[in-house]
């Protein structure tokens, strides 16, 4: 199968950059997007069907010039955050999801009522800085794991009424940028250039030294390898047992040295996908770029140009301090693939705040 490079829908509504994307749990019908405008939006990426029958006068009038890429449907907006939303995680029953961001609290939401069920934060024992990542863990998603700028990973019990974390992991020397959970293991990536694996049952911590700051983590389905993105313009596939590097993915044109740009596995773990901070060559008309490598060979499979958004949503022109027009680029910082990398579509977003969904046609 060729790499899916055709946009199938645009998801609109955010009033600022999108920092977090995730699909609902399997079969992954819906997409959640967390934005700098402090809201989380739930979308159905399938374009809405026409409310007018095909024979109607209105449909005939509009069908002369249908939009090139249809818009998905905004179903619900979740508002309670006071700061930007940086991370999202959906429970396996799809009834709840967790979000975190600049608030120093982890929010647990009820999907149907759009109300927060719990907020973990605001006490002496909670995070003291923004929370970069959150993830469900444990049996029946009874725990939440969060990683913060305060260099700690905290584990919260969703079912207890206590506001204190069950456990605090403080081995990191700098901000925690990513967490992943698999069974009794918690894997954390930190700006100190280390990936730490905690076996909560055994009380053991194994540290793998990457070197440059770690910005993203993605475990393979069998849990034997981890994809690690770092600020030296490289993505590495690491063997979790030996700590060795199985493959490195990079390109002379691809730069990732300053921003937290996500990298993930997709296409049934055939591809490594990564966004682009667009510092090398800015995009024209606010475009962004997405890179895809072959997991096994490490060769570049695709380099996609992602538009700022649909026609009519071009970036606003801004004048720099020197009085010249500033080029704006769509820095793609978050990517999600349906069904944890095994589904038939994926979505990307970033600076423009517009989510572009790609799929196999």
| Residue 51, pLDDT score | 47
Whether the per-residue pLDDT at 277 is higher than 60: the answer is yes
Question: Would you place residue 287 in the very low, low, confident or very high pLDDT band (cuts 50, 70, 90)?
Answer: confident
Whether the per-residue pLDDT at 69 is higher than 60: the answer is yes
| Residue 338, pLDDT score | 95
| Residue 50, pLDDT score | 47
C-alpha 66/C-alpha 47 separation (Å) is 12
What confidence tens digit (pLDDT) does each residue in 157-180 have? Answer: 999 988 899 999 999 999 999 999
Question: Would you place residue 343 in the very low, low, confident or very high pLDDT band (cuts 50, 70, 90)?
Answer: very high
End-to-end CA distance of the chain: 11
Question: Would you place residue 282 in the very low, low, confident or very high pLDDT band (cuts 50, 70, 90)?
Answer: low
Question: Would you place residue 26 in the very low, low, confident or very high pLDDT band (cuts 50, 70, 90)?
Answer: confident
C-alpha 76/C-alpha 78 separation (Å) is 7
Phi, psi at 41, each rounded to 5°: -120, 140
| Residue 281, pLDDT score | 65
Task: Report residue 75 as tokens.
Answer: 């179903």
Question: Is residue 184 classed as helix, strand or coil in its secondary structure?
Answer: coil
C-alpha 166/C-alpha 150 separation (Å) is 17
Look at residues 352, 344, 345 and name the one whose alpha carbon lies nearest to residue 288.
352
Whether the per-residue pLDDT at 87 is higher than 60: the answer is yes
Task: Report residue 230 as tokens.
Answer: 């770092």
Paired with 169 in beta bridges are: 153
| Residue 328, pLDDT score | 75
The helices-and-strands tally (H runs, E runs) of the chain is 1, 30
Question: Would you place residue 279 in the very low, low, confident or very high pLDDT band (cuts 50, 70, 90)?
Answer: confident
Is the pLDDT higher at 250 or at 287? 250
Helix (H) or strand (E) holding 358: strand 355-359
* Strand residue runs (E) in 138-277: 143-148, 153-157, 167-169, 176-182, 185-190, 194-199, 204-209, 214-219, 225-230, 234-239, 245-249, 263-266, 271-274
What confidence tens digit (pLDDT) does each residue in 33-49 have? Answer: 999 999 999 999 987 65
Whether the per-residue pLDDT at 290 is higher than 50: the answer is yes
Is the pLDDT higher at 93 or at 279? 93
Paired with 206 in beta bridges are: 197
Task: Report residue 99 as tokens.
Answer: 């979000």
Stretch 7-29: mean pLDDT:
94
User: Residue 103 CA to chain centroid, in angstroms?
Assistant: 18
| Residue 134, pLDDT score | 97
| Residue 324, pLDDT score | 73
Question: Would you place residue 64 in the very low, low, confident or very high pLDDT band (cuts 50, 70, 90)?
Answer: very low
Question: Would you place residue 347 in the very low, low, confident or very high pLDDT band (cuts 50, 70, 90)?
Answer: very high
**Maximum Cα–Cα distance across the chain:** 69
The answer to whether the beta carbons of residues 345 and 361 sit under 8 Å apart is no
Phi, psi at 251, each rounded to 5°: -160, 140
Is the pLDDT higher at 187 or at 309? 187
Look at residues 277, 260, 232, 330 and name the one whose alpha carbon lies nearest to residue 101.
260
Cα dist from 48 to 55, 73, 126, whole Å: 18, 6, 42
What confidence tens digit (pLDDT) does each residue in 121-167 have? Answer: 988 999 999 999 999 999 999 999 999 999 999 999 999 988 899 99
């Amino acid at each position: 199968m060729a790499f899916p490079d055709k946009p199938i829908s645009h998801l609109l509504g955010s009033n600022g950059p999108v920092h977090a994307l995730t699909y609902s749990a399997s079969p992954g019908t819906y997409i959640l997007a967390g934005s700098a405008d402090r809201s989380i939006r739930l979308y159905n990426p399938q374009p809405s069907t026409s409310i007018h029958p095909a024979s109607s006068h209105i449909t005939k009038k509009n069908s002369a010039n249908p939009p090139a890429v249809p818009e998905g449907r905004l179903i619900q907006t979740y508002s309670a955050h006071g700061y930007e939303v940086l991370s999202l995680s959906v429970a396996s029953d799809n009834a709840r999801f967790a979000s975190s961001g600049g608030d120093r609290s982890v929010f647990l939401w009820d999907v149907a009522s759009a109300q927060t069920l719990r907020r973990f934060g605001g006490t002496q024992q909670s995070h003291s800085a923004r929370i970069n990542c959150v993830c469900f863990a444990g049996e029946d998603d009874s725990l939440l794991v969060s990683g913060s700028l305060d260099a700690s990973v905290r584990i919260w019990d969703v079912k207890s009424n206590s506001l204190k974390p069950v456990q605090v992991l403080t081995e990191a020397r700098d901000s925690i940028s990513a967490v992943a959970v698999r069974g009794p293991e918690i894997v954390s990536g930190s700006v100190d250039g280390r990936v730490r694996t905690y076996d909560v049952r055994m009380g053991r911590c194994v540290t793998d030294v990457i070197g440059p700051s770690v910005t993203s983590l993605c475990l393979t389905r069998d849990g034997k390898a981890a994809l690690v993105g770092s600020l030296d313009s490289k993505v590495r596939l690491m063997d979790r047992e030996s700590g060795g590097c199985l493959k490195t993915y990079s390109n002379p044109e691809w730069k990732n040295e300053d921003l937290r740009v996500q990298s993930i596995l997709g296409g049934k773990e055939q591809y490594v996908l990564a966004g682009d901070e667009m510092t090398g060559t800015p995009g024209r008309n606010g475009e962004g770029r997405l890179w895809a490598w072959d997991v096994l060979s490490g060769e570049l499979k695709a380099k996609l140009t992602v538009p700022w958004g649909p026609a009519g949503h071009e970036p606003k022109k801004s004048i720099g301090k020197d009085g010249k027009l500033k080029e704006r680029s769509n820095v793609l910082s978050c990517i999600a693939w349906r069904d944890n990398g095994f589904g038939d579509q994926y979505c990307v977003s970033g600076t423009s705040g517009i989510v572009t969904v790609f799929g196999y046609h």
